[in-house]
Structure 1
């Protein structure tokens, strides 16, 4: 599928989704959000794609925020609808049945930080900057930022970032637990693909259930332990479980088929 604001490439079962508005620092407008949702749908339905990377075009920015020009003149009801739409798209990413990593190559601010946090995990270049500067515009995060930032770095640190609007660098983001690894800019995508290449060798059905169970930690309507028990039991009905245990006992590498 062709997109006007995204670049996509599939290599070795890894789909790379690049937000491609470098002249606007890859800001999220309505078109980007709509195409991002379509790309996630395409990713989920493509059996050849087993994992995905979301990154930004150009050397400066992952996503420098939402396109503020689209906020001007909105009513309260329209603002709420904008937030609901953004949250729903980011929920799709967070709950995708296949692993999605954010490779943060520069500014991840506002909606960009929210997008990165919606991914299952994040790595960053040493030039990356993270922040939720919405307070400087007289607004606040609306795409899940207040919720995920607290979950990822803790209440006190999240409040400071949300209330000051200050940015943090990659080293601090690593210290806070916002990102898993920091690499040189030149090696960021290669490192992302290396990590996902390992993950794509694992059992797809088990990976999907790990995502479901881990996300249940933050879903107050569900008992995460019960979700884990059910998901664990479901694994025993899969061919992958039989292959994995046989391979372990036979001292060979398993070949999983997602069945």
Structure 2
């Protein structure tokens, strides 16, 4: 392995950890990082042994400081757009992976780094983390999906304040407004993320996947259409052996044994 891989990939007990690995640059995002991240996401998608993915960063300072500003300062407009399109492909891959994806925010998550975390199912942050979209402070826009996902996560008003002022929020405030799901001490981050992932993996994988799809797709539909989509998925999951097992176990007051079929 080269001395400095910009993104690391490791699988253990069915959980793939993808780690941004540019600590000297606060795990900033450049073309190489995004391309390798997309490649590892696709690898995890195709690996049946991988049941969940944890995205995190190297070090205790930053999950990711966002896009590499030095590149942005020198790049032509079409290069910047191409760079943003690659980042959008990454966030889209995260959302549509069909597997559990949790962001372990080991430090501050800013700009594009936060946009990657926003695409994940859940986010767990260390207590000293700070999160935000400071793009406007360099006359930029949150162009990796932040203007789309942040309002859906925390509401239009709160998102507008963060996006239009560039104000950073603490981990505790992020928890209060719904931007992260849990806040932990740094030494507890890995254990808490593993526990959360295991809690989800203990459920029927089909039910988990269809629940996420219903939520993700339903946000782009009217209220009635979204509810009908949920009803369709409810009927679809009723055709699985996991559904029969889950309802049987409930009635018999026993623990279900899901097989993912």
TM tier, shorter chain?
over 0.9
SS at match of 1:38: helix
SS at match of 1:148: helix
Residue 254 of structure 1 is matched in structure 2 by 256
C-alpha separation between the residues in 2 aligned to 1:91 and 1:211?
14
Deviation of 1:84 (Å): 2.2
Residue 37 of structure 1 is matched in structure 2 by 38
Unaligned runs of 5+ in 1: none
SS at match of 1:71: helix
Whether contact under 8 Å (2:31, 2:83) holds in the other structure is no
Deviation of 1:110 (Å): 0.6
SS at match of 1:175: helix
Residues 121-153 of structure 1: CA deviation (Å, up to 9, x unaligned): 111100111011111211111000111111111
Residue 123 of structure 1 is matched in structure 2 by 124
C-alpha separation between the residues in 2 aligned to 1:27 and 1:71?
12
SS at match of 2:183: strand
Whether contact under 8 Å (1:13, 1:200) holds in the other structure is no
C-alpha separation between the residues in 1 aligned to 2:52 and 2:17?
9
SS at match of 1:72: helix
Q: Counterparts in 2 of 1:158-237, with a 5 A limit? A: 158-220=159-221, 223-237=225-239
Whether contact under 8 Å (1:95, 1:211) holds in the other structure is no
Deviation of 1:221 (Å): 8.5
Deviation of 1:15 (Å): 1.6
C-alpha separation between the residues in 2 aligned to 1:221 and 1:23?
45
Residue 86 of structure 1 is matched in structure 2 by 87
TM-score (norm 2): 0.93
Whether contact under 8 Å (1:86, 1:143) holds in the other structure is yes
Q: Which moved more, 1:66-75 or 1:42-51?
A: 66-75
Match of 2:243 among 234, 241, 244: 241
TM-score (norm 1): 0.94
Residues 181-204 of structure 1: CA deviation (Å, up to 9, x unaligned): 110011011100011111111111
The Cα RMSD (Å) is: 1.9
Unaligned runs of 5+ in 2: none
